[in-house]
Amino acid sequence: MTASPDSPESRVRRALAAHRETRALATGPLEAVQGGLSNHAWFAETGTGACFVRLGAGYASSLGVDRAAECRLLESMAEAGIAPLIVLCDPGRDLLVTERIRGRTWTRDAALQPRNLERLGALLRSLHGIAPQTGWSRVSFPSRARQLEERLAALDLQDRELGALAREASLALAGRGDVATACHNDLHHLNVLDDGQRLWLVDWEYGGAGDPLFDFASLLCQHPGVPSDRERLLEAAGEREFGSAGRLEAACVLFDYVQWLWYRLAARQAPDGAGVYAERATAIRSRRLAMR
């Protein structure tokens, strides 16, 4: 069956055909990759190797994504051996093509295993040792929260209770605004690839120069079983001090708030996924308010 002209597959084939480097992929088989919420992805084979192809959501910029900055960050991460090598990055067409890493995507259970937490901590030690570079996004979670709040305010979708918790968390983190290292900011298990020898991080849409606290917060908030082993993670990352003084807890509150804002706004931007986004926003709100 031929895909409709407006389908994601048709659109990505047109984008691939626009570049000499990827023209051969435009007419070849594309194997859909499941798991992403806002983007579409495929695996493709070329004469020289396997590729991962991603077509980004057209509304991503309204949710804080800067595709050009993502391209520059990915170049640095690939050079450091943390992310796959780039075949093509075309921000104007929301197109990204990278090498395909032959390995397994982590499951939620894999993210909770002590040995894997040590491996991930070691990877984060390397990541956070990379100094920010020109062209990367500067990621500030308090600023991102304010930007998303403004968009939701226009839709009358604010939440006073969560907002108050987030403001308290921002105050607790005041003074860390000058802390900036390379960060991923979305350490969900689906963004970790394991080739058996090493770990790779993918999906860098919200990465950039920022506070490394939020890499740990992103992992802890999205994997409730990790906190019991967080000291193992922090020690492997060389960040044991994050476990004290309430800073990590404050970062978790703020990360959850930004997640909640993102899901509420995404539900308005992407009607097809509105139900899933609304469910996740509700779950975050319930969990966070229960922890007060």
Report the chain's terminal Cα–Cα distance, integer Å: 53
Q: Residue 48 to residues 14, 20, 22, 118, 200: CA-CA distances in angstroms?
A: 21, 14, 12, 34, 21
Say how many CA atoms lie within 13 Å of 172 toward its Cβ.
Answer: 18
Is residue 271 pLDDT above 70, yes or no? no
The CA-atom distances, in angstroms, between 156 and each of 21, 153, 262, 265, 266 are: 46, 5, 15, 11, 15
Same domain, 187 and 94: no
**In whole angstroms, how far apart are CA 230 and each of 55, 169, 175, 214, 263?**
34, 20, 24, 14, 26
> Same domain for 91 and 157?
no
In a domain, 1, yes or no: no
Distance of CA 279 to the CA centre of its chain: 19
Please determine, for residue 1, whether its predicted confidence score (pLDDT) is greater than 60. Answer: no
Q: With H, G, I as helix, E, B as strand and everything else as coil, classify residue 41.
A: strand
Check whether residue 177 and residue 95 sit in a common domain. no
Cα 41 to Cα 9: distance, rounded to the nearest angstrom: 9
Count of helices and strands (H, E) across the chain: 11, 10
Structure confidence by residue, pLDDT tens digits, 40-57: 999 998 777 899 999 998
35 with 51, same domain: the answer is yes
154 and 281 co-located in one domain: yes
pLDDT digits 0-9 by tens, 188-238? 999 999 999 999 999 999 999 999 999 999 999 999 877 778 899 999 999
**Nearest in space to 220 (alpha carbons), one of 204, 202, 237, 208:** 237
At residue 33 the predicted structure's pLDDT band, cuts being 50, 70 and 90, is very high
In which domain, by residue range, is 58 found? Answer: 8-99
Structurally, the chain folds into a number of domains equal to: 2
Asked if 131 and 239 sit in the same domain, the reply is: yes
What pTM did the predictor assign? 0.93
CA distance 285 to 259: 10
> Which of 72, 99, 126 is where one domain is finished?
99
CATH at 278: 3.90.1200.10
Same domain, 62 and 160: no
Residues 136 and 208 in one domain: yes
Domain presence at residue 3 = no
| Alpha-carbon separation of residue 93 from 37, 39, 150, 156 (angstroms) | 19, 13, 27, 32
Asked whether residue 145 is assigned to any structural domain, the reply reads yes
- Per-residue pLDDT averaged across 239-244, rounded? 86
Q: What percent of the chain has pLDDT over 90?
A: 73
